[in-house]
């Protein structure tokens, strides 16, 4: 591809891409809230604290929060 062909593609209009991530964003927030409730309930249980279970909850919550942060901001909720 020549320099001229590449430069003509650069100057061809403006492309606007709007991501509709509202549904995924709501689902992730809902899952985070549910996991936090479950973790809190497990901590308040009468049994001894299961550290492996707590670590699993924390990992699930952390991964969902990280994914939520990576989503492009959306105007559509």
- Domain segments of the chain as ranges: 19-77
pTM of the model: 0.68
The tokens describing 7, both together, are 């430069």
- Chain centroid to Cα 34, Å, comes to 15
pLDDT tens-digit readout, 48-74: 778 899 999 999 999 999 999 988 875
pLDDT tens-digit readout, 18-48: 567 888 889 999 999 999 999 999 888 767 7
Question: Which H, E and C letters describe 12-64, residue by residue?
Answer: CCCCCCCCCCHHHHHHHHHHHHHHHHHHHHHHHCCCCCCHHHHHHHHHHHHHH
Neighbours of 61 (CB within 10 A): 18
């Amino acid at each position: 591809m020549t320099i001229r062909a590449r430069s003509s593609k650069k100057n061809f209009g403006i492309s606007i891409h709007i991501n509709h991530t509202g549904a995924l964003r709501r689902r992730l927030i809902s899952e985070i809230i549910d996991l936090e409730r479950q973790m809190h309930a497990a901590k308040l249980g009468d049994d001894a604290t299961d550290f492996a279970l707590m670590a699993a909850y924390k990992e699930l919550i952390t991964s969902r929060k990280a994914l939520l942060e990576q989503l492009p901001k959306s105007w559509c909720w």
